[in-house]
Chain A
Amino acid sequence: MSRIRDTFAELKHTARGGFIPFITAGDPDLVTTELLLIELAAAGADIIELGVPFSDPVADGEVIQRASERALRKGVTLSDVLRCVSNVKQHIEVPIVLFSYLNPLLKFGKDQLAEEAKRTGVDAVLITDLIPEEGGPWITAFHDHGIELIFLVAPTTSNDRLARIAQLASGFIYAVSRSGVTGERNEIPRDAESLVKRARAASDLPIAVGFGISTAEQVRQVWRFADAAVTGSAIVRQIESLADSPDLVARYEAKN
């Protein structure tokens, strides 16, 4: 049984909105990432998105770009990220979604990744620059190992396309709240709600909304029309501002 499906079933049962924090693996270092994952789970994260650092993150704004750079300067690789998941999965149950660009995964090999993801306890993979049309072999490889492949939909996605994506998607659908890159914003665009409505018409899968969701108030706003809210840059920016501190995790907890 899919842990992600269970999570959303449980949320629905308790009439709660889901909270999905995003952090970049290896920012500022891998040990801190492990501690942060455990803390985020303890703090009530329903699912965690774990970013695989990449040299050319075209879908990301400056905050997550810098996080990627910090991790790459430490030499963090996909194998390290998988090891990190394997370590924390001994302590936490919360589903983990790897959030990555295609090239590092391509280099690792899709079958090997599917196997390793299974072995280490990764529940799903979201590949920012892989659209379903190019994703056939990945869908098959992950399906064979019980790893879910999450697809994005965007305000520019037509209804026809939404229907096609819905057919191929598993786990949940990730609705991008706005046309743009990741980064904190002052408000939730109206596009987001109408996109979620359109996605609901096309699919029974749960829908998470992300990109630009930066405050608790915005998270609550998203819960009014979607199943879960993803917060990335706002958390990554806090990690950045504390990154030089030796007791990052303790201070992160204190601030929250």
Chain B
Amino acid sequence: MQKSPITRSEPDEHGHWGEFGGRYVPETLVAPLDELTNEFMRARQDPNFWGECNQLLRDYCGRPTPLFHARRLTAHAGGAQIYLKREDLLHTGAHKINNAVGQALLARRMGKRRVIAETGAGQHGVATATVCALFGLHCVVYMGAEDVRRQALNVFRMRLLGAEVITVNAGTRTLKDAINEALRDWVTNVDDTYYLLGSALGPHPYPLMVRQFQSVIGREAREEILSVTGKLPRALIACVGGGSNAIGLFHPFIADEQVRLIGVEAGGRGDSLGEHAARFHSGTASGGGQVGVLQGTMSYVLQDTNGQIATTHSISAGLDYSAIGPEHAFLHNSGRAEYIRASDAEALEGFRLCARLEGIIPALETSHAIMPAIRVAHELSRDEVIIINLSGRGDKDVQLVAGLQPQ
């Protein structure tokens, strides 16, 4: 079944990567999505738009972020040199701000005064609340009740930033349910509202647009690694919730066939449906490995035998989601990228290890990528290089982990 890897990953004009992506939405949303697509395509060609965007990324968010040589993690792994792309150093503490800045600029161009967003871990909600404060826009963030509980610090941050946080009590009270509510809000308030979606999912043009705003991560990383080591890395490793930090790092390397692209999904606490968020996991009882439609896009979706969307579990709110961005589905099927999983326990191990060895406390989402990266590095020689996307910092998770720590 080995296919020759693809070196390009561009959707057609309707946002399809092969059979994946597209627009599966109520008719009411077609016009606003068209309007958004047109504005995005215009902005993409507009040097003034990028001028302002890049200036904000630099002066407000702190780009470029460093590529840090993690010597003690490297020694621990006993193989390839491990580098960390430090998105955790950005303003608000995660890669989410890259996309929030870009889309808020679009919202302003479109004259929308009200911005809505969903959030899981709260990082996208905080990023959105932040740019709305900066631009003087009214901000409403939907967040599942379970996530409000486990990411309480971020709820407080959003409110400090002037956002209205609406707790969602439907379903499993996590990211999927927050997106449902945001979509219901948007369909009701299409005229004045901009939906600032936080990951590389949803209907066209979101997966393409979020990738565009996040691929600054991979462009910088490519330049940085070439200037430091003079060669390309053997592997890139990133956690995958909806898939925005991963696609942001991967995209500028798609054509570099020798670079392995490795996404890490949440393996949760077991293999059966409901116990994990590993959409590509095709074990018998996993509910994974199935193509379906959720929240506007065709992709791999965790579901039961009747096509009802399955509940998920992950220790990290940001990976706790039943579907995955459509471009990842395409990269998976084409063989260009590999997807593996890390359990809750492994994520905690990575969280602690990164803190002890590098003095960097990563977000629990990010932590999923650490142990798999160590295994990958271990199998490579010391003159090779791999990059982990350190997508966010773990302050928001310290309290949760403290509650789990053995005394």
Contact = CB atoms under 8 A, between A and B. Distances in A.
A106 B28 contact: no
Contacts of A56: 171, 176, 180, 294-295, 309
A102 B297 CA distance: 11
Contacts, number: 107
18 contacts: A56-B171, A56-B176, A56-B294, A58-B183, A61-B184, A78-B306, A102-B293, A103-B292, A133-B14, A133-B23, A156-B27, A156-B31, A176-B26, A176-B27, A176-B28, A179-B190, A181-B184, A181-B188
B30 A102 contact: no
B160 interface: no
A152 B29 CA distance: 12
B23 to A, nearest CB: 6
A130 B306 CA distance: 18
B30 A104 contact: no
Interface string A137-158: 0000000000000011111111
B187 interface: yes
Nearest to B14: A133
B125 to A, nearest CB: 19
A131 B34 CA distance: 13
B8 to A, nearest CB: 23
B94 to A, nearest CB: 26
A104 B304 CA distance: 10
B93 interface: no
B170 A156 contact: no
A128 interface: yes
A154 B170 contact: no
Contact of A131 (B30, B294, B301): B30
Contacts of A151: 27
B308 A72 contact: yes
B282 to A, nearest CB: 16
B26 A154 contact: yes
Interface in A170-188: 176, 179-181
A156 B23 contact: no
A103 B26 contact: no
Contact of A103 (B23, B28, B29, B307): B307
Contacts of B11: none
Nearest to B176: A56
A196 to B, nearest CB: 15
Contacts of B303: 103, 107
B185 to A, nearest CB: 9
A53 to B, nearest CB: 8
Nearest to A102: B293
A108 B304 CA distance: 11
Contact of B26 (A54, A128, A133, A134): A128
Contacts of A180: 28, 187-188
Given A54-B308, A56-B309, A133-B14, A153 B27 contact: yes
A107 B307 contact: yes
B68 interface: no
Interface string A22-39: 000000000000000000
B90 to A, nearest CB: 31
A78 B305 CA distance: 11
A129 B24 contact: yes
Nearest to B291: A106
A103 B301 contact: yes
A97 B167 CA distance: 35
Contacts of A131: 23-25, 27, 30
A59 B26 contact: yes
A56 B171 CA distance: 8
Interface string A76-105: 011000000000000000000000001111
A214 interface: no
List 7 tightest A-B contacts by C-beta distance, closest first. Answer: A107-B307, A104-B307, A156-B31, A154-B28, A180-B188, A152-B27, A77-B306
A233 interface: no
B32 interface: yes
A55 interface: yes
A106 B307 contact: yes
B309 A103 contact: yes
A55 B308 contact: yes
A161 interface: yes
A74 to B, nearest CB: 12
